[in-house]
Structure 1
């Protein structure tokens, strides 16, 4: 069984968890791999992105400087340094680092993708699209760039184009729950609720602990009147994200639909305590047991 802990296997496990947005799990595997093979460069751009997602500024900064010191001319080192600057919100420095990575290796697709993500953060959508297309030119099967284009198109309200690109990404990486959730989201935005629900269900099966996806599935079930199924999802979700106001708001709506006034008010009240900023819409929901009130779910 010793082969299970080789650096290559640990890196593959780290990548697999990264693909499903299980960043904390991914980090554990990459950390083990670094202990065993501190000079290994492969996948370090992914490890640095994992640390970026986890907001681990000190760890990311340390990794970036170690890589730059030991492998000054590697694109991985410059991607890590770019991610460190990005987390410190210095977008200009981040972009310089990602650009340096692409100069060192013009076929290193991920550096173009990170450039694209940075432009998206700056709301520079044309520049982002250019960077993502450069990533695809460097590697036709680099699904992250198709995902990036999809995200930009979604932000611009071009849901058909977004769907096409998310679908292209998913055809390269078929079991990626994040991509399948994105497909569901653009379908839902086009009022195609049943196909969206199918996508969310598939994504939840692949990544059962992804709270955001389960929330979207529960909300879709509630929208199509499948109250028992929605309740089942929300009970799981309540354990996954107990302090998420939107979850309790949705539970309030569910119990209101079931005519369970007491339970409904209870969950609306918990939502209010967790997110006082949303007080107006929650109070409206409590007062109107007939009308439908939407809550901003940007947290989820």
Structure 2
């Protein structure tokens, strides 16, 4: 379910055909959540609530604490409602309460062992905690269930990179990019791996592709500046640093330091960006 736009189109067609159908609204709302369509998400929730105020699918709220209360209500109404456990886990992650998030994801897996979202959620937590062996295991379990997820391949590639398996990481991230060509994250992560391998020209080529997808993303311009500097292209590096500063004028100390040190040699530990 990596193609959320297409999934949204299908759900909309189904909703037009059967506007009072409650089954499947949990997956539709999850799709809208991934697309950050907050207005449409709220409208869908209101429609569901108006039709059936006691249904578990009607639970939706933006604020994390309130959302958690609604998801708990959904679980009370339907203890086998797997998505409610997973979405609760996502909310706990947003609040950085990882222990409760882990419990929610594990409960989701107990109710449905093929619920790949929960396997992904656990992997993402372990990745943040730098427990890379656990992260790899959970991402691979998720991929066994959903092998065509660009997101899952991307995160697995990041784990492989973190554990110094750069060639495997590049292959996995290439698969992620092929599965979802419009997702720049996989190419951004490939650039990170190429930088680790000191393949700076290849890294810059990947970053140019990412820049075309996200022309106003400060972090992309900043990384391009660092790579250009590695290649000895000082003027080009300054251009990218200046653009990075323009697109991210706040909390820009790192960019300013890079500009101030534009003519100083990089340290070896700068290869991981």
Give the TM-score normalised by structure 2.
0.88
Using a 3 Å threshold, how does the CA distance of structure 1 residues 29 and 296 change in structure 2: closer, same or farther?
farther
1:24 is displaced (CA, Å) by: 4.4
1:294 is displaced (CA, Å) by: 5.6
What is residue 213 of structure 1 aligned with on the other side? 186
2:234 to 238, 261, 278: 261
Deviations 1:161-200 (A, max 9, x none): 1111111111111111111111122222233333222221
Alignment of 1:68-87 (within 5 A): 68-77=49-58, 81-82=59-60, 85=61, 87=62
Deviations 1:99-144 (A, max 9, x none): 2322333322111111111222222222211111111111111111
For CA contacts below 8 A with separation 6 or more, give which structure has more relative contact order: 2
Q: Which structure 1 segments of 5+ residues have no match?
A: 1-18
What is residue 82 of structure 2 aligned with on the other side? 109
What is residue 291 of structure 1 aligned with on the other side? 266
Q: For 1:58 and 1:277, locate their aligned partners in 2 and report how far apart those are by CA, in whole Å.
A: 28
What is residue 216 of structure 2 aligned with on the other side? 243
Q: For 1:230 and 1:157, locate their aligned partners in 2 and report how far apart those are by CA, in whole Å.
A: 24
What is residue 47 of structure 1 aligned with on the other side? 28
Deviations 1:252-297 (A, max 9, x none): 1222222222222211211121123454333433424520486998
What is residue 175 of structure 1 aligned with on the other side? 148
What is residue 163 of structure 1 aligned with on the other side? 136
Q: For 1:267 and 1:160, locate their aligned partners in 2 and report how far apart those are by CA, in whole Å.
A: 36
Would the aligned equivalents of 1:116 and 1:132 in 2 still touch at CA under 8 Å? yes
- In the alignment, does 2:163 pair up with 1:190? yes
Q: For 1:226 and 1:197, locate their aligned partners in 2 and report how far apart those are by CA, in whole Å.
A: 12
Would the aligned equivalents of 2:192 and 2:272 in 1 still touch at CA under 8 Å? no
Count of residues in Structure 1 that have an aligned counterpart in Structure 2 = 270
Q: For 2:271 and 2:16, locate their aligned partners in 1 and report how far apart those are by CA, in whole Å.
A: 46
Deviations 1:24-78 (A, max 9, x none): 454344333322221222321122123333443332222112112223343322x
What is residue 275 of structure 1 aligned with on the other side? 248
Bigger mean CA deviation after superposition, 287-296 or 107-116? 287-296
1:233 to 194, 199, 206: 206
